[in-house]
């Protein structure tokens, strides 16, 4: 029990490690900043998976995570022709709200990993896993504090999730490939990606408003039925 409590208390710090390291790397101009961000993302992912494993979940508890991960990955592939219109963030947020923050993280991370077998694996995969996992985790935290009850709360969380995902991926791109690393080039790189991030956020808000009630009702029924 003590180990469980330590892991639980460490979650926010470990998840904050990636953006904090990115900010530190940008401030110091470290030559290996992109690699450090990848390493921090990998550490955060492994920690969260260890956190879930430490809880020794039963198969019936993991099945919703597996199904929602596959559904999110399939949805990303289905919308492959439409840039940045993906249901992954919406499904991750819904998963976090109904199954808990850790499960939301797992759904987002596994969805990125699975769908990249179609889109292509690469150095970006850990950052995508972390970013979508973080979206799902924060969805669970918001739901626990009663911040996903109304339609406008869902819409705002959807838009912000797209901006958060974009900030993490754009930040890694800036640290790894933009030179010289000065305020002007950093701002230009983020502004170039802002339209796509807004499309991602707005589409996530739309998906959330579309599936929140029917999917939420079905998932609650299944969770109650199978304990």
Q: Is the pLDDT of residue 227 over 90?
A: no
Percent of residues, the chain, with pLDDT higher than 90:
62
Q: Is the pLDDT of residue 34 over 80?
A: no
CA dist., res. 104 & res. 95, Å (int): 5
Q: What is the average pLDDT across 36-56?
A: 89
Q: What is the average pLDDT across 191-198?
A: 95
Q: What is the average pLDDT across 52-76?
A: 88
Q: What is the average pLDDT across 146-154?
A: 93
> How confident is the model at residue 31, as a pLDDT?
61
In angstroms, how far is CA 84 from the centroid of its own chain?
A: 14
Q: Is the pLDDT of residue 189 over 80?
A: yes
CA dist., res. 38 & res. 44, Å (int): 10
CA dist., res. 202 & res. 87, Å (int): 11
> How confident is the model at residue 37, as a pLDDT?
86
CA dist., res. 69 & res. 104, Å (int): 9
Q: What is the average pLDDT across 161-187?
A: 90
Which domains occur in the chain, in start order?
A: 59-225 (1.10.1760.20)
Q: What is the average pLDDT across 97-116?
A: 96
Q: What is the average pLDDT across 19-41?
A: 82
Residue 136 and residue 104 in contact, taking contact as beta carbons nearer than 8 Å: yes
Q: Is the pLDDT of residue 183 over 90?
A: no
SS3 86: coil
> How confident is the model at residue 1, as a pLDDT?
62
| Cβ neighbours for 71, distance < 8 A, ≥ 6 positions apart | 91
Residue 62 and residue 131 in contact, taking contact as beta carbons nearer than 8 Å: no
pTM: 0.94
> How confident is the model at residue 55, as a pLDDT?
76
Q: What is the average pLDDT across 149-174?
A: 94
Report angle CA 33, 34, 38 to the nearest 5 degrees. Answer: 115
C-alpha torsion sign, points 148, 149, 152, 154: positive
């Amino acid at each position: 029990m003590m180990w469980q409590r330590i892991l639980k208390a460490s979650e926010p710090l470990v998840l904050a490690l990636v953006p904090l390291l990115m900010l530190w790397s940008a401030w110091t101009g470290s030559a290996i900043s992109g690699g450090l961000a990848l390493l921090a993302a990998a550490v955060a992912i492994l920690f969260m998976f260890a956190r879930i494993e430490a809880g020794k979940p039963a198969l019936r508890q993991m099945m919703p995570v597996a199904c929602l991960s596959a559904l999110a990955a399939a949805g990303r592939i289905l919308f492959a022709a439409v840039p940045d219109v993906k249901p992954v963030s919406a499904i991750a947020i819904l998963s976090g709200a109904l199954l808990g923050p850790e499960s939301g993280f797992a759904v987002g991370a596994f969805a990125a990993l699975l769908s990249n077998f179609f889109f292509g694996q690469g150095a970006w995969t850990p950052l995508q896993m972390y970013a979508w996992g973080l979206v799902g985790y924060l969805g669970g935290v918001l739901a626990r504090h009663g911040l996903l009850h109304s339609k406008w709360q869902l819409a705002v969380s959807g838009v912000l999730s797209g901006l958060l995902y974009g900030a993490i991926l754009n930040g890694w791109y800036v640290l790894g490939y933009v030179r010289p690393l000065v305020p002007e080039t950093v701002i230009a790189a983020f502004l170039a990606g802002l339209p796509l991030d807004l499309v991602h956020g707005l589409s996530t808000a739309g998906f959330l408003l579309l599936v929140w009630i029917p999917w939420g009702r079905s998932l609650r029924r299944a969770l109650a039925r199978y304990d």
